[in-house]
Amino acid sequence: MNILQEIFASLKHNKLRTALTGFAVAWGIFILIVLLGAGNGLRNGVTSNFSDRATNYVNISTGITSMPHNGIKAGRHLKFSNKELEVIEKMPEVSNANGIVRIPDQNISFGNEYGVYLILGVQPVYTKIFTVKIDDGGRFINDIDVKQQKKVVVLDKTIAETLFKNENCIGKYVKIGSLMFQVVGVNTKANRWEKQVYIPFSTAQAIYNPDKKFWWMVSNINGLETVKENEDFYNRLKVNLAKSMNFNSDDPRAVWIWNAHQDYIQTQKIFGTINVFVGIIGIFTLIAGIVGISNIMLVSVRERTREFGIRKAIGAPPASILWSVILEAMIITAIFGYIGLVCGVGLTEAANSILSQNADPNGMTIFKNPTISIGYAFAATLIMIISGVIAGYIPARKAVKIKPIEAMRNE
């Protein structure tokens, strides 16, 4: 208790030195937490944009040929058939190949309520690629629906609320155009771009595409871990489609292929670089704080060398003097380190609260939840405390080795 009273008396007597030491500690922890929070916010924001779909999928759509091929002039409007689905399914990297029929601007009504919405004819594996969340009591399109060409429909939540208000719509019928479809599920996952409903792929083909053609395919891709592997897959995919659909594989406009997985890999590499950059800055920030503590503690010990000599002359053991300096450094770094920790965490939480309140739930974002694990924050604070102890121990150890008469002569 006497040691603590002595330490706090010393801190109170040397307010400027205490404030400078504390500021170095608090600022180092504060900046480190803010930097780590900013890095996490950027990562979380961009990663959240992938939340409505798988990261390992490829999106393929048809275009218009711009090059003649095998005696056929340019300008052909290409469309897929089930044959192209089989072509991509045979590629070893592909799984869950899914043809999609897109029918825009269809009138959908229930009683006196109606709206014009997009219809997607999909297969059950659609949910392996795009995020769909079905309300309790409902379901998504299944294999029986596709096999039997059933007239069933899954509504997006906003459409269900528009047509049915607060009623349970499962099992009821809506009118799409002039045909009745039974509602089997409600998708509560908000769609970012447009409101849509889902019907079986085979039903959409039979009603809207009697020629069995469509222009959009998606599938998962597996085992492609590098950019080069994804580029090789892209080239093989295009060659296979060119053979099946009779167009020049070098034609840049015949088909459009977007490999989301390749974009995801490149994004992760960018964030890896950002994490290294933020980590380096954080380390240097801690080092700067440690250097600040060391310099101030060195000055402090030098100022107190005469005091140490007097204490040794009246019988104080060197260990007690050394322990008082170490404890002083520990108290300063612990208190001000905690202040820096609270301020840093408080700022990141405030930023997260503001961003959450102003976020568009259906919009893209590049910054989200800029917070860090509390474990990292306490680890950084602990490192600073240990550094402060070492910073106080080294000069104090030298000072207590000086003979009392020499210490008392020190100015």
Q: Is the pTM of this model over 0.85?
A: no
**How many helices (H) and strands (E) are present in the chain, helices listed first?**
12, 9
Output 18-21 pairs: Cβ under 8 A, ≥24 positions apart.
Answer: 18/332, 20/292, 20/296, 21/292, 21/293, 21/296, 21/297, 21/300, 21/332, 21/333, 21/336, 21/388
Q: What is the DSSP string of 73-114?
A: PS--B--B-HHHHHHHHTSTTEEEEEEEEEEEEEEEEETTEE
Within a domain: residue 11?
Answer: yes
pLDDT of residue 185: 94
pLDDT of residue 339: 87
Same domain, 335 and 375: yes
Q: Residue 342: which H helix or E strand, with range?
A: helix 318-358
How does DSSP classify residue 209? Answer: -
Within a domain: residue 392?
Answer: yes
Q: What angle do CA 103, 201, 194 make, to 5 degrees?
A: 40
What radius of gyration, in Å, describes the C-alpha atoms of the chain? 34
Within a domain: residue 269?
Answer: yes
Is the separation of the CB atoms in 399 and 308 below 8 Å?
A: yes
Hey, what are 22's tokens?
Answer: 């504390």
pLDDT of residue 328: 75
Hey, what are 215's tokens?
Answer: 């222009």
Strand boundaries in 63-205, DSSP class E: 94-110, 113-122, 152-156, 173-176, 179-187, 196-200
Same domain, 241 and 295: no
Within a domain: residue 59?
Answer: no
d(C-alpha 206, C-alpha 225), whole Å: 39
pLDDT in tens, 80-93: 998 999 999 999 99
Same domain, 16 and 70: no
Same domain, 389 and 296: yes
Same domain, 131 and 245: no
| Domain span including residue 287 | 2-51+265-409
pLDDT of residue 27: 82
Same domain, 154 and 245: no
Within a domain: residue 135?
Answer: yes
End-to-end C-alpha distance for the chain, whole angstroms:
30
* Residues facing 386 on adjacent strands: none
The number of residues in the chain equals 411
Regions of the chain with pLDDT less than 50: none
Within a domain: residue 260?
Answer: no
pLDDT in tens, 291-338: 777 777 777 777 676 776 777 677 777 777 777 777 777 777 888 888
* Residues with Cβ within 8 Å of residue 81, at least 6 apart in sequence: 212, 213, 214
Same domain, 42 and 77: no
CA nearest to 139, candidates 200, 206, 57, 190: 200
116 phi, psi to nearest 5 deg: -110, 120
pLDDT in tens, 7-48: 666 666 667 777 777 787 788 788 888 888 877 777 776 666
Same domain, 197 and 99: yes
pLDDT of residue 318: 72
Same domain, 227 and 78: yes
Hey, what are 277's tokens?
Answer: 């950059």
CA nearest to 241, candidates 222, 254, 227: 254
Same domain, 165 and 238: no
Query: Which amino acid appears at position 233 of this protein?
Result: F
pLDDT of residue 204: 94
Same domain, 226 and 80: yes
d(C-alpha 170, C-alpha 180), whole Å: 14
Residue whose token pair is 């429909």: 153
d(C-alpha 375, C-alpha 369), whole Å: 17
Same domain, 275 and 233: no
Within a domain: residue 322?
Answer: yes
Residue whose token pair is 């520990």: 330
Number of domains the chain contains: 3
Within a domain: residue 56?
Answer: no
